[in-house]
Amino acid sequence: MGFDPLRCSFVKAVQVIYEGTESAWEHRMEVYRRCGWTDYEIMLMFRQGPYIMKSSEKKIMSGMDFLVNRMGWQPAAIARFPIVFLLNLEKRTIPRCSVVKVLRMKGLVKKDLSLSAILACKGFSWISETNSFAFARTPIFHIDSLLKHKAPKWGFWIAPKLSYIGRSD
């Protein structure tokens, strides 16, 4: 499979293979095939994130439906960041992608922003790290209205310098 036995991903892959059944493995392979990926692409995704083979069919299909049909991403872009199938769709993927969609419509972020840039960071640090240039051109009240419903929950406030939005350090 091409795993380096000295890396942590090797241990994770062995764990996934050991804990699963052959029928469960084949079922997930079939689900990923229905999404348009070849066996080779699925194995590359497995090498990147072995736990994707533990995701349920519902989680895989709902994630693909949202990312492909509503956000317009190509399956190849999703295959480069397969960890998306392990993230919480309602709490992480949909809110972040929705903010990015609004920013794209306003021309405030580049069109080819990668899925990993949006979803990989914990908390809201992705705003300041990946999109600070977008917020520098956006009025403060607009940023506040975009995040207003989440701000009190996160203990989030907008600092005088926009580059510090969401930073915890």
Q: Are residues 48 and 118 in the same domain?
A: no
Q: Is the pTM of this model over 0.85?
A: no
If pLDDT is split at 50, 70 and 90, which confidence band does 123 have?
Answer: low
Pick 149 or 117 by higher pLDDT.
117
The domain boundary, picked from 51, 86, 121, lies at 86
Question: For residues 67 and 118, is the Cβ–Cβ distance under 8 A?
Answer: no
Please tell me the distance from the alpha carbon of residue 110 to that of residue 146, in angstroms, as a whole number. Answer: 18
Note down the domain range covering 75.
Answer: 1-86
pLDDT for 125 equals 54
Q: Are residues 10 and 72 in the same domain?
A: yes
Q: Are residues 113 and 82 in the same domain?
A: no
Q: Are residues 40 and 82 in the same domain?
A: yes
- The pLDDT of residue 114 is above 90: no
- The pLDDT of residue 66 is above 60: yes
Number of domains in the chain: 2
CA atoms within 13 A on the CB side of 6: 0
